[in-house]
Amino acid sequence: MSILRLTQAIYDQIRAHGEQTYPHECCGALLGHSMQGGWHVVAAIPAGNTRTDSAHNRYQIAPLELVKIEREARSQGLDIAGFYHSHPDHPAQWSQTDFAEAHWLGCSYVITEVANGKAAVTNSFHLAGASEEEKRFEQETIVLEE
């Protein structure tokens, strides 16, 4: 099982973002470095949810925004460690849509359930597999540090 290591402050930031956008989904990117067994996240970058058709159960970071985030990460010597989004009034489990739209092999996908406007369970899933054909989500352990 892989590990997603992040500070309590970043963890709280991700969860608070989900509460702010409720009843819509929030989304953002996670920046960090890869380490043995997973990612060490050092920043969470909130992004605008570009889905206007169904913003309560879909999320998407605009391609241009993602390019900007990636460039900024590189300039700081960081990589995109993964992405986060919220599930308003739905469990913190990936959906078929989440899986279909996940293409960053080796990255972490963090999902927070927001129940009645309050952040509940947060889970992280590692997108494992060497190719799009064999990709799969594996739940990973979130380790909080000071």
CB of 55 to Zn ion, least distance (A): 12
Residue appearing with tokens 């799969």: 136
Q: Which is nearer to Zn ion, 95 or 141 (CB)?
A: 95
Binding flag, residue 140, Zn ion (CB under 5 A):
no
User: Is the Cβ of residue 39 or residue 84 nearer to Zn ion in the bound state?
Assistant: 84
Unique residue bearing structure tokens 């889905």: 51
Residues 103 and 19: their CA atoms lie apart, in Å, by: 26
Task: Give the contact letters, 51-80, x = binds to Zn ion (CB under 5 A), - = no.
Answer: ------------------------------
Q: Which positions from 83 through 112 interact with Zn ion, judged by CB under 5 A?
A: 95, 98
Q: How far is the CB of 58 from Zn ion (least distance, A)?
A: 8
**Do residues 110 and 86 lie in contact, with contact meaning Cβ atoms separated by under 8 Å?**
no
* Token code pair at residue 26: 């929030």
Strand (E) positions, 60-146?
A: 79-88, 108-115, 118-128, 136-145
The residue at minimum Cβ distance from Zn ion is: 98
Distance CA 46, CA 66 (A): 11
Binding residues for Zn ion (CB under 5 A): 95, 98
